[in-house]
Amino acid sequence: AQSVTQLGSHVSVSEGALVLLRCNYSSSVPPYLFWYVQYPNQGLQLLLKYTSAATLVKGINGFEAEFKKSETSFHLTKPSAHMSDAAEYFCAVRTGWKLSFGAGTTVTVRA
Amino acid sequence: DAGITQSPRYKITETGRQVTLMCHQTWSHSYMFWYRQDLGHGLRLIYYSAAADITDKGEVPDGYVVSRSKTENFPLTLESATRSQTSVYFCASKTGDGNGELFFGEGSRLTVL
């Protein structure tokens, strides 16, 4: 079964600093990968998805992720953190109709 | 408004009681899912459904029952609630497109005493 591993359950960044969230996948075939964000007391919403059309994927709110097959990674970045980026972020991989999620990374942003 | 709604949003119950969490979507999406979210585990799939009257188990189905008599509804029932089922439950739906986005409800927070 395909799976994803998120490195680091918690990341703290200063406002204006780079945000880097790590995700590695295990898959024997080209995967379909996603990043979702969850704000407090809300459901998850899609940030971006990789579907093999391009290795660098741009999402909403200034986030982007790069698919690196050689490293089996799909790390999420944002050049300059904003206070509103404080949330929990989930990497996910599609298996058939289903999505399997990583354990999540909580981002806090320091003023 | 169109969307996916869950009810109740908050529920406290006692061990052994039956609880049903409701999920309703207005998009006529083919697929619907139930996940539970627990600290350190992310989201784990409980059950999913590809269409009305078609359901299948996910990673953690024990102790749960689902049905889907209508496309728009996908209730999740805990037949005899246990403390280990204290969690936040999320319903989601998607179109039949393989890479279609999952749309999530706002969650139902269940506490089993």
Give the whole-angstrom CA distance, residue A77 versus residue A56.
Answer: 11
Interface test with B, best of A38, A41, A44, A88 (most B CBs within 10 A): A44
In this prediction, residue B98 carries a pLDDT of 65
- Closest residue to A101, CB basis, from B31, B42, B105: B42
Which amino acid appears at position B81 of this protein?
Answer: A
pLDDT at A85 over 80: yes
Cβ B39 vs Cβ B86: under 8 Å: no
In this prediction, residue A51 carries a pLDDT of 82
Q: Region B84-91: what's the mean pLDDT? A: 96
pLDDT at A99 over 90: no
**A 59-98: CB under 8 A from B:** 90, 94, 97-98
Q: Region B38-57: what's the mean pLDDT? A: 92
Nearest CA-CA partner of A103 in A23, A13, A1, A18: A23
Contact criterion met (CB < 8 Å) for A51 and B101 = no
- Count of other CB atoms within 10 angstroms of residue A70: 5
Using a pLDDT cut of 90, give the percent of chain B over it.
86
In this prediction, residue A110 carries a pLDDT of 96
Task: Name the minimum distance, in Å, from the CA of A26 to any CA of chain B.
Answer: 17
Mean model confidence pLDDT for chain A: 91
Give the whole-angstrom CA distance, residue A91 versus residue A102.
Answer: 5
In this prediction, residue B68 carries a pLDDT of 96
In this prediction, residue A3 carries a pLDDT of 87
Give the whole-angstrom CA distance, residue B107 versus residue B89.
Answer: 5
Q: Region A37-45: what's the mean pLDDT? A: 90
Which chain A residue's Cα is nearest to B48? A98
Contact criterion met (CB < 8 Å) for A41 and B90 = no
- Residue A44 host element (H or E): strand A44-50
pLDDT at A79 over 70: yes
Q: Region A88-106: what's the mean pLDDT? A: 90
| Predicted confidence band of residue B1 (pLDDT cuts 50, 70, 90) | low
pLDDT at A30 over 80: no
> Regarding predicted confidence, which is higher, B12 or A52?
B12
- Count of other CB atoms within 10 angstroms of residue B60: 18
Using a pLDDT cut of 70, give the percent of chain B over it.
96
Mean model confidence pLDDT for chain B: 93
In our burial notation (b when 16+ CB lie closer than 10 A, e otherwise), range B26-45 reads eeebbbbbbbbbeeeebbbb
In this prediction, residue A41 carries a pLDDT of 84
| Predicted confidence band of residue A8 (pLDDT cuts 50, 70, 90) | very high
Give the whole-angstrom CA distance, residue B33 versus residue A51.
Answer: 21
Which chain B residue's Cα is nearest to A91? B42
Task: Name the minimum distance, in Å, from the CA of A85 to any CA of chain B.
Answer: 19
> Regarding predicted confidence, which is higher, B52 or A31?
B52
> Regarding predicted confidence, which is higher, A28 or A101?
A101
Using a pLDDT cut of 70, give the percent of chain A over it.
97
